Chains A and B, each alone.
Chain A
Amino acid sequence: MKYVLPLTHPLLATENVSITLSGLQILEDVSIGVPEGTVTGLIGPNGAGKTTVFNIMSGFLTPDSGNVRFDGKKLKHIKTHHLTKLGISRTLQGVGLFASLTALENVMLGGSARVKSGIVADSLGMPWADHEQNKLRAKAMETLTEFGIADVADRYPSELPYPVQKRVAIARSLISDPKVLLLDEPAGGISAGDMTELGRMIKSWTPERTVLLVEHHMELVMEVCDLIWVLDAGKVIASGTPEEVRTNPAVLAAYLGDEGVGH
């Protein structure tokens, strides 16, 4: 995917975002953008503020100053549960699956934003409400099949190995047909083989979908990203292609101060 810096029309962007949490300046004047159709990476040493950027983008936190812009529009006072309706979907660090629901039910809930029938229709067992759920169920099954985990549809998360749980979580975030997918450390706790598969999968979503990736595993980031933003101590210190970032002295300095690239 092609992009030109500075970005003119990013699909999703933070504009001069600053935030202070319990007296600490976590982000300072952070402007990053995610061009449409790319896989964009957000990296930085521990405590750089990557997850805070995600949390601001998903409405968990409101910045002290600055905006989040999506598709040209400012997102003000976004409520987290409205995000999927807008076309933004995210995964949570770890897995964040619902423990008392099966894998299939978990994935079905990913489509909640599009469900039209309400509680009254549900309680009376209206045919259209049932029909809607059946369609959603079929779509969830399809997604699980795509992810190669159709056989675990009726299993509960606690019965599944960690990498499979991760896949279910990603399947859940994809079923809402998001324009932008925010992946928070998707490679955490999975094997090298699974990671290669994950990278291939992420690549395959573009250019129909746009991906913003926060990840510790540099191999994965370098392999799949078109554009990378580097945060350190709450500030953007570099951006560019994987090559540019890899050779950027500021980035090297930041990471050497941490513990070295990719641990």
Chain B
Amino acid sequence: MKTLRSFPGNRIVWHAIIVGVVWLLLLLLNNNIDPLYSAYLALVAMYATAMFGMTILVGLSGQVSLGNGALMAVGGYVFALTSMNWQTVPFFGWEWNAVWSMVFAGLGGVLIGGIIGGLAARLKGPYLAGLTLGVAVGVPAITNRFPELLGGENGLMLTVPYPAGGYAAMDAGGEIAGEADGDVVVDPGTDEGATGEDQQYAELDLTEFDQGNDSFAEGDLLTEGDLLTEENFDAGSDQFAEDDLLTEEDFGTGTDLGIDETAADPGGDAGGDAAGFDGAGQDESELAGGGLIDAFDSEFIIERWQASMAIAVACIVAFAALNLVRGRQGRVWKAVRDDPVAAAVVGISPSGSKVSAFVVSSLFAALAGAVFAQILSFIGPGAFGLGLSLSLLVGIVLGGRASLLGAIIGALLLVWLPELVDGLSGERGWPEQITNNAPNLLYGLLVVVVVLAAPGGITGTFKSWIDKAKGRGRATLS
């Protein structure tokens, strides 16, 4: 912290370096762990993305909101709706792809977040919490209100969550991602080469699809670095857009389990969701086991792809969040939280600052929601209810309300704790009733204990230890 502050001119560069290094390490990790853990990694990245927004909203700006689960739903639904027909409907002459859908998901979050935030900025503490609670509880009602558009209780299947549907085209198809990690930013030269190869593989895929194979063959072409380069998106969609490589059934079979899990357990219970991934994983390997396109299928692992996509979004969001939190805007948010009257006196609009915190956190939530929808290949009201909003609040409070690192730790806790409980339960043979509820019981109790005993959460407590060691006393919640 201190060292960064003393290099003010390089602050942004530092942020880029930190995020870049973390990104690289995460990709390395992702490619060298069991796909099951990649699924967890995807979830952690998704939660972290949403919780960076909670850091800003709850921690820095001091607004307790339960609306962020609903805003994730906004992002998810916008993603689903804008991606449904992208192969047939070009957008102002552009080939539609998943990146555009992500952009629109973000815009949707900004719009809805701006509306709620505009109202919320006028409210104090419990009123805001109560209003956003209403929003969280109202999500299923709203989706049911528009069954044709939003699919009602059943939700929507995503038609194109996988690479060929609009994300990046691949470079060298046979390359396993672990070796391609270096090119987080791909230079145009290699892109062109890659595009040429893509063509080849695309044709190959097509023939295979013509043979009646409806597996995830196209996915094998992905390497993470490509997610960044727009040239590739275009190239990718050129190759694949017209060809209906992905049919709804593909994803239907792949994700049924995942849907059931989330619908039955809308509490943002990562364990449940992860169990869904197991299902998806099994389906995928079954298909691969069919031996139709084993050359590629053995290399495309859906969990890895999902994790790399979620990591990409989380890292981009983390960069923006770092710039905001550690820069002028962070000071402005804290100032308004600490003393709105004094903030107004120095020329800060307290309500403007609160709205901006709301909008930024909504943007992050919506992006996380779009990622979540892609991870599930599905979006429905069950997964985005009050439980999800509450878990975001739990995560941020436990990790550390006002710290981005706290958001990441919170995200880890949200995914890891249910797994831990599940593991223990398996060892000790607890009944299902206990196992299912133990994580939430722990979360609830931990939240109370943290608020009472360590309001700075894990990171805040560490920080105050360090400060104490340095002989400095200060507020834990900063």
Contacts and interface: CB of A to CB of B under 8 A. Distances in A.
Interface of A: 58, 60, 79-85, 89-92, 96-101, 105, 108-110, 112-113, 115, 117, 119, 122-125, 127, 129-130, 133-134, 137, 154-156, 158-159, 172-173, 176
Contacts of B477: 100
Contacts of B332: 109, 112
Contact of A156 (B9, B328, B474): B474
10 contacts: A58-B345, A81-B343, A96-B339, A98-B334, A98-B343, A100-B478, A122-B328, A130-B8, A156-B474, A159-B472
Interface stretch (B227-235, B318-326, B437-445): B318-326
Interface of B: 2, 5, 8-9, 11-12, 15-16, 319-321, 323-324, 327-329, 331-332, 334-335, 337-339, 341-350, 352, 356, 360, 402, 472-475, 477-478
A96 B334 contact: no
A205 to B, nearest CB: 18
Given A100-B334, A113-B347, A133-B8, 13 more contacts: A80-B341, A81-B349, A83-B345, A98-B335, A108-B331, A109-B346, A112-B346, A122-B328, A125-B15, A127-B12, A133-B327, A134-B9, A173-B346
B9 A130 contact: yes
B320 A123 contact: yes
A213 B32 CA distance: 68
Q: What is the predominant secondary structure among interface residues of chain A facing chain B? A: helix
Nearest to B9: A134
B334 A119 contact: no
B16 A100 contact: no
A218 to B, nearest CB: 26
Q: Among B332, B335, B347, find the residue whose CB has the most chain A CB atoms closer than 10 A.
A: B347
B345 A90 contact: yes
A119 B329 contact: yes
Contacts of A91: 345
A160 B348 CA distance: 24
Nearest to B14: A125
Contacts of B360: 119, 123
Nearest to B345: A90
B341 A96 contact: yes
Contact of A134 (B8, B321, B478): B8
Nearest to B478: A100
Contacts of A154: 2, 5
Contacts of A99: 338-339, 475, 478
Contacts of A84: 345-347
A119 B362 CA distance: 14
A81 B348 contact: yes
A112 B319 contact: no
Find the residue from B12, B328, B356, B478 having the highest chain A CB count within 10 A. B328
Contacts of A113: 346-347
Given A119-B360, A159-B473, A81 B342 contact: no
Given A109-B332, A119-B324, A125-B323, A92 B9 contact: no
Contacts of B346: 84, 89, 109-110, 112-113, 172-173, 176
B321 to A, nearest CB: 8
Contacts of A97: 339, 342
A239 B350 CA distance: 37
A83 B342 contact: no
Contact of B335 (A109, A119, A122, A127): A109
A115 to B, nearest CB: 7
A129 B472 CA distance: 31
